[in-house]
Amino acid sequence: MTTSLPKKIWIYFLLISTSFLVFFPVMYAFLISFMTGPELLQGKFLPQSFSLDNYIKVFDRLPLLNYLLNSFIVSVSVMLGQLAVCSLAAYAFVFIHFKGRDFIFFLFISTMMIPWEATMIPNKFTIQKLDWLNTYQGLTLPFFALAFGTFLLRQHFKTIPKELHEASQIAGLSKFAFFRRVILPVSKTSLVTLGAYGFLTTWNMYLWPLLITTNKSVRTVQIGLKQLQSQETGTEWGVVMAGVIVVIIPTLLLLFLGQKQLQKGLSQGALK
């Protein structure tokens, strides 16, 4: 497609200004993370010198590496758990015929209407009764079954021609082998999308880890950040922002690496 020069300039102007708007908070946080307290209070945008003092402080004050590791473990296990549970559920909803399948599916989907916060208290009690407070399974297990993920994968699985299923039946593939050797590779894009979605959601989760963790052992990084804020009366924003920058690095990495797959997967789900 060819566009005239003025139009191009206009489009680029719009893109740059909107991306600046969207990215401004992150940039500002990045700059603040290098500022000293007085500098910040003066309302400056650019720090006088790029000192790494705040970063050293944040690692001093908090077991940040420990928190990061916890967050990573929790996010990865939720991601894997979601992929396993959702893909198996979606497989059943598409390829196995049983009575009341559609009804069960819509019941399943309708749970998307219930906000997560509404079910949080009962969930918390369940975890408490299981004596799973301050454990990884307490943090991860409630998120394995995801209606949205099942829906997303089901939509993709439905686009797989049933002849593939029949051909593999004739070839002598068992139900699970068909799932593993045909369905999963064919739906790679959707799986990547769901995986990234699951990872990021869990990484950014705040309320649930706050309820479930009472000590440092499995506490995640988002709670750690909050701790930085409330520890003292006069919050050192520079230190907090340094923490924030450390925390969003994995998120950004994931976004840059998986951008193409993510786009493909999401638009596929939207079109079908």
Partner 1 sequence: MSKSYDKQVDVISNINVTIEPGEFFVLVGPSGCGKSTMLRMIAGLETITSGTLKIGDQVANHLSPDKRDLSMVFQNYALYPHLTVQQNITFGLDVKKVKKATQQERAAEVAETLGLTDYLKRKPRELSGGQRQRVALARAIVSESPICLMDEPLSNLDAKLRAHMRTEIRRIQRKLGITMIYVTHDQVEAMTMGDRIMILHEGEIQQVGKPIDIYNNPANPFVATFIGSPPMNLAYSDADKKASEIVIGDILRLPVPSNEIITIPEYQLIAGIRPEHLRPALKESPEEDKLYVVVTNVEVLGNETVFSFKLGTNEWKAKWSGQWHIEIGDSIPILIDYGAFCLFEARTGDLIKKSTDLGNVVFGKEVLV
Chain residues binding partner 1 by CB under 8 A are: 161, 163-164, 166-173, 177, 182, 185-186, 188
Rounded least distance, CB 163 to partner 1, Å? 4
Kindly tell me which of 69 and 173 has the beta carbon lying closer to partner 1: 173
Rounded least distance, CB 209 to partner 1, Å? 37
Rounded least distance, CB 150 to partner 1, Å? 22
Kindly tell me which of 158 and 188 has the beta carbon lying closer to partner 1: 188
Kindly tell me which of 117 and 163 has the beta carbon lying closer to partner 1: 163
Rounded least distance, CB 173 to partner 1, Å? 6
Length of the chain: 272
Kindly tell me which of 77 and 168 has the beta carbon lying closer to partner 1: 168
Kindly tell me which of 40 and 173 has the beta carbon lying closer to partner 1: 173
Rounded least distance, CB 176 to partner 1, Å? 13
Kindly tell me which of 54 and 187 has the beta carbon lying closer to partner 1: 187
Kindly tell me which of 156 and 219 has the beta carbon lying closer to partner 1: 156
Rounded least distance, CB 264 to partner 1, Å? 14
Alpha-carbon distances, residue 40 vs 31, 43, 48, 70 (angstroms): 10, 5, 11, 31
Distance CA 270, CA 272 (A): 6
Amino acid at 201: T
Rounded least distance, CB 177 to partner 1, Å? 7
